[in-house]
Structure 1
């Protein structure tokens, strides 16, 4: 007789077999493998062969896909477990913390050519090391907060029942880095001023990960939606666009998601000021 458990609706449901619990962990392992591959490619990258950086960026993009699938499969098969959550968090630290921070440093700072003032280049590289570590520690802190949070409240709350993340998820932060690198086809930064811009982008992304700002969560999209055919059509169009125009689509999606949190925060602040002004007039 198979084990059964009582669901949230009070109905008895069959407990999945033990073998089913391995399925989401396989996608988590694929996530970790992609992160490890990205690390090996970043280390081998150079000005002479820039394709290593591009392959590292694409590996991180594939890892984001695996990271989304393991959660979806776990929920669909009712195989969520404490072990799976811990394994997923450890994999995310490696894949979306260590791998992108290493890629960001080597691609954006270490490859800078010799300058008229070698001390200036050395300073940029040293600051780059520190900023990339900031990205790593902010991403790890974001994961730790997510694991211990129970019903976290953002500073700019959404509509009742609307699902959202508090702070930018670490896969999205890694997606910002990988999309920029891939947009450049792996060609490293060779201008110190561009490195400064890259440094600012890394700092801002790090801040968004540990902020209390709202970011949209795709968990509200389900197969049992009201108009599933429209949902499948949108997914098919977006997927085809990414396959055909991945160099442009990936950076558009990554930057749009980054900006969405900023826009939501500004909209909430503006709306709060209007409410306060209206209350003062009354």
Structure 2
């Protein structure tokens, strides 16, 4: 008896029409976020090439561009309802290259190579810290017991912020701050500290919900502020990046205090609830 689902043109294979269509037709909304992710990967890898060629300013620009694109692809996927497991895995692999490998190599080529093997170990620690941070983040996504406010925080410094922050010594160098004999060891200590912050249990503000909803009255001021920030970043890139990194590090104690208050509030709510065995 003939199966109505079989394609008459499928020949001897008898492949179902529905299966062939499912494999052949992929919605464009699923591809766009992944294309942005691949564009970010190209930026990060090209940044490594620029560093090897001695064009360090352009190398840093490309890592910053990769971080900006990393913030776009996730929001674009959620906006288009194009999230997928494939996209999440691709994003993690891209983040490791852009925010682990690329900054480590750029820092080593810029100045850590003056410490020889010790400088290379510092770059390795930064890359390893990024890899561990991303692996922990992926595991935490599957935790069903997270409270509702958990989305306000990251555990540790996120990979893009860690990469932008690790490059702070280069920003200061481009601003004209002279290097001293103890400057390179201090840079090494700072890079290792950033790697430790990425894998630390310290809570940091995520910013994922920032801009998700905005009052109509603040739309125009927000657009003006964004345009002003971009203009300042283009005109004074190293000063703006250094200020952003220092400001971000300064917010960490406030994020810890905020997190502790929310945890304490949950604990107080739980203790105030009647126990299951109290029947009155």
User: TM-score range with shorter-chain normalisation?
Assistant: 0.7 to 0.9
Partner residue of 2:196 out of 200, 207, 210:
207
- Equivalent of 1:181 in 170, 178, 198: 170
- 1:169 to 2:161 alignment: no
Among 28, 40, 47, the alignment partner of 1:38 is 47
Identify the residue that residue 275 of structure 1 maps to in structure 2.
none
**2:221 is aligned with 1:230:** yes
Between stretches 208-217 and 17-26, larger displacement belongs to 17-26
Give the RMSD, CA atoms, in angstroms: 3.0
Per-residue CA deviations over 1:180-210 (Å, capped at 9, x if unaligned) read: 3244239898644100110111011011100
Q: Tell me the SS of whatever aligns to 1:80.
A: coil
How many equivalent pairs are there?
A: 236
8 Å Cα contact 1:61-1:178 kept in structure 2? no
CA gap 1:108/1:173 in 2 versus in 1, 3 angstroms: same
TM-superposed CA distance for 1:163, in Å, is: 1.0
| Cα displacement (A) at 1:151 | 7.5
Equivalent residues of 1:31, 1:67 under 8 A apart: yes
Q: Does 1:60 align with 2:63?
A: yes
- SS in structure 1 at match of 2:83: coil
* 1:258 alignment counterpart: 249
Residue aligning to 2:35: 26
Deviation at 1:217, TM superposition (A): 1.6
1:73 aligns to 2:82 (yes or no)? no
1:17: how far off? 6.4
Q: In structure 2, what is the Cα distance between the partners aligned to 1:194 and 1:255?
A: 18
Kept in 2, the 8 Å contact 1:109–1:189? The answer is: no
TM-score after normalising by structure 2: 0.74
What do the CA deviations read for 1:131-188 (whole angstroms, capped 9, x no partner)? 1111111100000010110477xxxx99946612111011111102334324423989
Q: Distance in 2 between matches of 1:125 and 1:158?
A: 46
* Structure 1: tracts of 5 or more residues without a match: 1-15, 46-51, 113-123, 273-282
How far off is 1:44 after superposition?
A: 2.1
2:187 and 2:235 mapped to 1: Cα distance? 27
Of structures 1 and 2, the one with the larger relative CO (CA 8 A, separation 6+) is: 1
Q: Sort the Cα spacing of 1:263 and 1:222 in 2 relative to 1 into closer, same or farther, 3 A.
A: closer
Could you say which structure has the larger radius of gyration? 2
For residue 215 of structure 1, give the secondary structure of its aligned residue in structure 2.
strand
Alpha-carbon contact 1:169-1:209 (below 8 Å) kept: yes
